[in-house]
Amino acid sequence: MEARLLSTVLSLLAVLLAGWALEDLDPRKIEGFWREVGVASDKDLALRTPRRAEGVFLTVNGSSLTVKVVFNNSKSCETETTVGWRSGAAENFAFPGHREIHVLDTDYQHYAILRMSLLWRGKDFHVLKYFTRSLEGEDEQGFRKFRELTADTGLYLVAQHGGCGRLERRLGRGLI
C-alpha cells in the first residue's frame, strides 16, 4: 500500500512539474554563465556530495548544449565539460550516462530553475536546482518561484560558494 501511495504522489509531482515547463524556450538566451544558488531533492545524496557545483557556463550550437561546470571539491576547483543534445521538447536536454536537464522556468536575464535527472544504481534520481546570473545574492522573483516549487520536496540547500564560480565565469569567457 505504501508503494502505491508513493507512486501516486510521485506521478502527481511529475504532472505538477510538467505544468511549470517552458513551452517556448529560446536556447540561445540561456547561454553564458550561471551560478548555482539552491538545490532541492527528496534524497540527501544531493546534499552529501563532496563535489559542489558552483557555476556553469552554457553554450548552444544547433541542437547541442555544452555544459562546462566548475566544482568545489574540498576547497579545490575542478572543471568538467559535457555535451548534450535537445531531447524532444525545446526545454529538454539529454546527456551521456542517462542524465537529463529540463528547464522548468527562466527569465533568461536573472534566474533559471532546472530539474536534473539521472539514473544512479538502477534508480531514477531528481534534483531541482536554482541558478542566477549574478555572483552575488539571488534574484528575488526567481528565488520565490524556486521555493514554491520545492516547498513539498523535502531536503533543501542554499549553496555555499567560494571562488570557483568566479573561475568558471573567466573560463567560460575564455579569459583563462
pLDDT tens-place string over residues 91-126: 899 999 889 999 999 999 999 999 999 887 888 888
Instruction: State the average pLDDT for the chain.
Output: 76
* d(C-alpha 25, C-alpha 101), whole Å: 13
pLDDT tens-place string over residues 35-45: 988 888 877 76
Instruction: List the end-to-end C-alpha distance of the chain, in Å, as a whole number.
Output: 56
Q: Would you state the pLDDT for residue 83?
A: 96
Residue 63, C-alpha cell as written in the block: 541542437
β 64-73/92-95 pair status: unpaired
The CATH class of 2-172 is: mainly beta
Residue 87's Cβ-count burial label (10 Å; 0-12, 13-18, 19+) is middle
Residue 133: φ, ψ to 5°: -80, -25
